[in-house]
Structure 1
């Protein structure tokens, strides 16, 4: 290679030349996109600002409507307009015109109205209850220089209605305390209604009497127990549930409160055990016990119930599902052997909550037209049958027997005056009449009389006590009145022979006469009657005709032929007539007519509770039983008494008076304190029942549109 020869480098490839027009086009596209984004952002900002203004304006209208509704009087719109305008001007955005009172209107809100928003001028008889705020504002533009941007008017409306007043009635038993003598009766009654046995001491029963349970807490816990996640309290009230589940919800709710004594929880545990024992488990609905208006919100359920009344109502409601009677293992009543059966004819409704404005005039109890919005409570209606076997009272039996033996001659004379019996001659004792022997001796009809051959039944059908709201007045928050009508139907007592079939229906009970003394004869003769040296007949070998027709030794083996009975019967009302007692609950004293959610009264006597009647069935029962009359009836070998005998009563008037006094004294133990307490506990004595009234007039306001 020649070094002097020049070196040739490879030449570079020429670079492509981009057209300037293409570069300029790319810049224009990017600029257009950027400008579009800027415009969109500006428009979005303007729209966002308008939405913000509308939201704030709506909030202002909402708060103003609520303030106006709370200040609204039944016929006073001016106060509501001022309150709404004042509230709105505090909350309105700066820069917007102030709110005038003319932008606030008053009227009546009713969901049944067909007008827009269910709002309009009140109809006849209606009152102002709602405030409508209508605001129209044109806010300044955020970007006034934006091409095409123009001011826009924004209109918002808010309608607030006053929450309706809420009234409640609660019925309770006024048992003050339970002692060791009374607790066995309560155990027998409540345990029997539950279908089992119960052993709660006096301390436990007193704990139930002196403890209140919050209705809302109870329903909330029951809602959890029933696993109800959707729906309100209406579903809880209308769900069929066992008694054990209800008692368990009470126990849990009281435990959560942390303020319940252990003795109360232990008593409820024993009730729970009795309710979940073997046997049928009737399903009940709380709506049958608690008459709460459909749709009532939680705020209207913040009332208290006496725990004893709630438990007793649940137990009676469950027992009332069965048409059968319940046998109670009642301790001996002052030495008298007694069996007691009861049947819940109609269970109680212990509490009612509702809107008194919805009550329809001319409907409700006594009108024949039911009112679905009625605020109504009632006591249970119970039928009780007490069967008394007085034969254990040997002193009474012997006294009656002695009275009869002392009056054999008058009885014989009376029997012989009753032509319908056609018995021939009856003798007081077997006597010889002629000289005879064996079958030739004459047969005589020898009178006998047995004392208290059958138990005496006392059936008591309790009258029904009811109370319902008839009107209310809400002048101010503190000046208010609740008018309640309390009625009682008449109780009935039947004494005599009462069949168990009375428990298979709710038809009136009628007692048949029951024999106090059974009267009849036995046929007898002597084996022989001989003339003695001294002249009179000497008879020997008394023979008594038995059921086979043979004459045998021993009077006890002789057949008894029943012909009559001195019987007693009572089919009488107790206490005269039913009662109608208007009750008026009136504030300003708040304890006289508390708010729905007011705590229980902490004084000695709660003035919000009023007696449903002053008429005591127990005291009237004493007078009724004191009117016992004993009369002679026809009878037969079945022992059942038939029609009244038409003989000459003055022949035995002395005996009848004596027997009446003896039986009245024997029935006296039925009216001892233990028996009285049984009748009171069963709800038969309505003078031991009280009704509480509560009313909340101003419950605030709520937005409805």
Structure 2
């Protein structure tokens, strides 16, 4: 039998799509090429942005060092970094000076830049360039902005300065400083001059004290006056002329009972106290003001007796300090409440002086003089930093308090009553065996002054300016001329009769005993003028002035430039 034939089914499928794959490949290649082109353009933009930001950063950091010339410095810095204006890409640069505040007075983060204003401490630089595309059509503007700031810190004092000390002045300084230190001193003029010309920085004191590691720790450490003397001596080193004197003072046992914190003397109104580390402090000023702080914040009575200018006069002087003066270091401007960030003040004080004439009139004449000094203040208004730093400008506002000087007897509690001023009544200034008694009273008010003081470098303790209400030259002459005299006693009556006869015979105007005594007292003016020379260094030692205020801008640190935005 023939085999049956096998039948095969043949299926016919879809045609092969080799052409579609080619199309997809072509499209993919085009997309990849477009992406690559876009990546090149975007990469170019990001690179340009990064380089432009470098230009803005370096320009702002350079310009903030000299705000008055910020635009010129920023342009020059940008040019040195290859950014010319307008250049091939229509480059632009905007430089704006202003103020940057990182926090509010309550410590809340702020971080704002305000253009313009007076208390400028920052600069903002905005640069632009037109970046052409490599593959796309046209250009794109690239912008970079940088804000840099630096916190300027200045140090100043009011009411004290360098002293030029002679032997007669050192007698009073020994009496004043000795009473402040609760001991007796016998330093000569050379020793005081050595202390007055010596300087020490806060960093020097930190290095000399093994128990502290920062300026903050030093300021808040509980020190005795002996500790401070020893630290200061070690900070100065053995080669300094003041070293031995300071060691001798440190060895006074009484100083161990007088404690203080330097923070109560040095008013640092800056967050980072290390910015004041290099401030140079006058050693004599540091010691005297520290002694006042250690003696308390209220009244300090310092009786001084038997202080003589041989052959001329003797003084009995009592001093009452209401509060110690301070040295201020900090930034310029005001806080959110309008209070000055950095300010210093002089102490209010009262002085009672009994001047007794010895050889001239047989110790029968004495003048009780009372001086009342009101408070003086200074505040740091603005700092304009420049390069070099001695071209910088520091503006300090200051006011001198009203002072009064009187001849007469004051009320018993005048030296201790801080609620009211003293009352001055007639004083018996002359008594000749009860036959001639003279009573006197005089008063001169010295008005306070005020204004802005502008300082340039060098910033050291010779950089002093004065706010004057009235000059004190001729003060005691004016005081004598203003005397109101009252004469009692038989001898006074007889002298008046004689004066009346002489006036009648010579045809002169009436001339009273009081007029005659004023002429005699006028002979004492050269003697009284010595008080100017004697009291000036004493008041300066205490940070006080009479009728004026000396402000010393002894330190300026323009800070380290830093980027903030």
TM-score range, shorter chain: 0.5 to 0.7
- The answer to whether structure 1 residue 658 and structure 2 residue 516 are counterparts is yes
Corresponding position of 2:348: 381
Corresponding position of 1:163: 150
SS at match of 1:504: coil
- The answer to whether structure 1 residue 702 and structure 2 residue 562 are counterparts is yes
User: 1:173: how far off?
Assistant: 4.1
String of CA shifts for 1:604-649, please: whole Å, max 9, x gaps: xx5x332343844363133213322212699xxxxxxxxxxxxxxx
String of CA shifts for 1:642-668, please: whole Å, max 9, x gaps: xxxxxxxx9996222233444554576
- The answer to whether structure 1 residue 348 and structure 2 residue 325 are counterparts is yes
String of CA shifts for 1:340-377, please: whole Å, max 9, x gaps: 2112223222x322222x425994xxxxxxx251x323
Contact 2:449/2:469 (8 A) holds in 1 = no
Contact 2:215/2:277 (8 A) holds in 1 = no
Deviates more, 1:687-696 or 1:657-666: 687-696
User: 1:197: how far off?
Assistant: 0.3
User: 1:60: how far off?
Assistant: 10
Cα distance in 1 between the residues matched to 2:226 and 2:457:
34
String of CA shifts for 1:197-241, please: whole Å, max 9, x gaps: 0111222111112222223323x147x36x345xx5344324443
Which of 1 and 2 has higher RCO (CA within 8 Å, sep 6+)?
A: 2
Corresponding position of 1:248: 230
* Aligned positions of 1:47-86 closer than 5 A: 67-72=58-63
Cα distance in 2 between the residues matched to 1:659 and 1:82:
76
| Distance change (3 Å), C-alpha of 1:197 and 1:128 | closer
User: 1:294: how far off?
Assistant: 2.9
- The answer to whether structure 1 residue 332 and structure 2 residue 305 are counterparts is no
Cα distance in 1 between the residues matched to 2:191 and 2:122:
51
| Distance change (3 Å), C-alpha of 1:633 and 1:63 | farther
Contact 1:481/1:584 (8 A) holds in 2 = yes
SS at match of 2:257: coil
Corresponding position of 1:486: 398
User: 1:504: how far off?
Assistant: 1.0
Corresponding position of 2:481: 626
- The answer to whether structure 1 residue 266 and structure 2 residue 233 are counterparts is no
String of CA shifts for 1:100-147, please: whole Å, max 9, x gaps: x99x99997532389x995566467478546899xxxxxxxxxxxxxx
String of CA shifts for 1:296-346, please: whole Å, max 9, x gaps: 342443122222222222223334535241112442244544322112223
Deviates more, 1:501-510 or 1:70-79: 70-79
User: 1:678: how far off?
Assistant: 3.0
Cα distance in 1 between the residues matched to 2:79 and 2:361:
89
> TM-score, normalization: structure 1?
0.55
- Which of 453, 458, 479 is the matching residue for 1:583? 453
String of CA shifts for 1:553-585, please: whole Å, max 9, x gaps: xxxxxxxxx9x9642122x234x4222243222
Cα distance in 1 between the residues matched to 2:99 and 2:535:
53
- The answer to whether structure 1 residue 692 and structure 2 residue 552 are counterparts is yes
| Distance change (3 Å), C-alpha of 1:395 and 1:167 | closer
SS at match of 1:111: strand
The alignment's C-alpha RMSD in Å is 4.9
| Distance change (3 Å), C-alpha of 1:180 and 1:347 | same
- Which of 248, 252, 271 is the matching residue for 1:295? 271
Corresponding position of 1:236: 218
Contact 2:223/2:259 (8 A) holds in 1 = yes
| Distance change (3 Å), C-alpha of 1:623 and 1:214 | same
Corresponding position of 2:288: 312
SS at match of 1:502: coil
Cα distance in 1 between the residues matched to 2:251 and 2:112:
57
SS at match of 1:191: helix
* Aligned positions of 1:32-43 closer than 5 A: none
Corresponding position of 2:137: none
String of CA shifts for 1:259-309, please: whole Å, max 9, x gaps: x42x311222233344x427x834333233222223234244312222222
| Distance change (3 Å), C-alpha of 1:194 and 1:667 | farther
| Distance change (3 Å), C-alpha of 1:337 and 1:698 | closer
Cα distance in 2 between the residues matched to 1:583 and 1:105:
29
String of CA shifts for 1:79-120, please: whole Å, max 9, x gaps: 86996898799xxxxxxxxxxx99x99997532389x99556
| Distance change (3 Å), C-alpha of 1:668 and 1:127 | closer
* Aligned positions of 1:518-557 closer than 5 A: none
Cα distance in 1 between the residues matched to 2:473 and 2:536:
7
SS at match of 2:307: coil
User: 1:190: how far off?
Assistant: 0.9
> TM-score, normalization: structure 2?
0.67
SS at match of 2:425: coil
Contact 2:219/2:262 (8 A) holds in 1 = yes
Contact 1:158/1:703 (8 A) holds in 2 = no
Larger Rg: 1
Cα distance in 1 between the residues matched to 2:334 and 2:474:
37
Contact 2:349/2:373 (8 A) holds in 1 = yes
Contact 1:172/1:306 (8 A) holds in 2 = no
Aligned residues: 467
Cα distance in 2 between the residues matched to 1:347 and 1:672:
26
SS at match of 1:277: helix
Contact 1:65/1:131 (8 A) holds in 2 = yes
User: 1:690: how far off?
Assistant: 3.9
| Distance change (3 Å), C-alpha of 1:624 and 1:108 | closer
In structure 2, runs of 5+ residues without a counterpart are 1-49, 84-90, 128-143, 490-498, 501-509
Corresponding position of 2:101: 110
Contact 2:302/2:318 (8 A) holds in 1 = yes
Contact 1:340/1:386 (8 A) holds in 2 = yes
Cα distance in 2 between the residues matched to 1:697 and 1:305:
14
SS at match of 1:271: helix
User: 1:176: how far off?
Assistant: 4.7
- Which of 191, 205, 212 is the matching residue for 2:192? 205
SS at match of 2:103: coil
Cα distance in 2 between the residues matched to 1:117 and 1:505:
45
- The answer to whether structure 1 residue 682 and structure 2 residue 542 are counterparts is no
Cα distance in 2 between the residues matched to 1:519 and 1:179:
36
Corresponding position of 2:380: 469
Cα distance in 1 between the residues matched to 2:112 and 2:481:
66
In structure 1, runs of 5+ residues without a counterpart are 1-58, 90-100, 134-156, 364-370, 398-450, 522-561, 586-591, 635-649
Contact 2:316/2:355 (8 A) holds in 1 = yes
| Distance change (3 Å), C-alpha of 1:164 and 1:268 | same
